[in-house]
Amino acid sequence: MENLKLIINIVVALSTVITLIFIWLTLREMKVSRYKLFEPQIFFINSNIYLLCNYPEIILPIKYSTKKETLELSENSEFYLKFKNIGQGIAKDIFLILDWNINYKEYFELLKFDFDKYGIGLKITISDGSCWIDATPENKINFGGNFPFENKTDLKFDYLLPVHNSNESLKINVPSSIELFFALSTLLFEVVPDNKKKEVFDRMDNYFKVGIKIKYKDNLNKPFEKEFELDLKTPKIEMSSEYQGKIYTIGIER
């Protein structure tokens, strides 16, 4: 009888321990599930930039847009990076840091050297902090001005709803120096021989080192932080009589 009682007590004790472990695992799973209901996830949306070049009729401007159909407009459309909340819950207290991290001076000096080499009459003055282009309509250059080299963009947003509740997104306009980076690179694509186009793109891609850091909180004030870089996809080129020129499509991806 004593041995039987001992065995029963051991079995009861083990059952109690197993039950407690099961309850703890269940509660932990419920806690994780509850947090998932509130967890946001801000994500960079891969996108394209469309650039319209009708060289040699016009050297500059090269029109650009994040929507192909707006290339028909007389003025350039906005060029922006887009972020969405693909998580389950609302994101709040959003802090977005974009480090453009581009050696503008060196890159634009290389472009200037190539333009001189191929006989493109661009008058470009490059300093440590900006690039100046002379507009000379008689030479088919209807676009110019001063373009400060911008290295960092800090932005704050109150909140961003998840995509299952809203189609809202954060649209971050890029600096004019980045727009010029793409426009002049596209002009160089157009003027170099076909066997040099990959070399031009590879150099462009090597200089385009954009880093992004995102900080935000969920509704329970739990903090989140992400860091990543953007890369470029090899351009697609198409002739277009509708848009009167060549359209270069360059993908921007996380």
- The string of DSSP letters for 199-252 reads HHHHHHHHH--EEEEEEEE-TT--EEEEEEEEEEPPPEEEEETTTTEEEEEEEE
Task: Give the tokens for residue 249.
Answer: 């499509």
Structure confidence by residue, pLDDT tens digits, 4-17:
565 555 655 666 65
pLDDT of residue 41: 92
Axis-axis angle for helices 104-117, 197-207 (nearest 10): 160
Q: State yes or no: pLDDT of 19 exceeds 80.
A: no
Q: State yes or no: pLDDT of 170 exceeds 80.
A: yes
pLDDT of residue 166: 82
Q: Are 210 and 254 in contact (CB under 8 A)?
A: no
Structure confidence by residue, pLDDT tens digits, 150-159:
999 999 999 9
Give residue limits of the domains in the chain. Answer: 1-38, 41-253
Q: State yes or no: pLDDT of 200 exceeds 60.
A: yes
pLDDT of residue 27: 47
Q: State yes or no: pLDDT of 241 exceeds 80.
A: no
Q: State yes or no: pLDDT of 48 exceeds 50.
A: yes
Q: State yes or no: pLDDT of 32 exceeds 50.
A: no
Q: Are 70 and 48 in contact (CB under 8 A)?
A: no
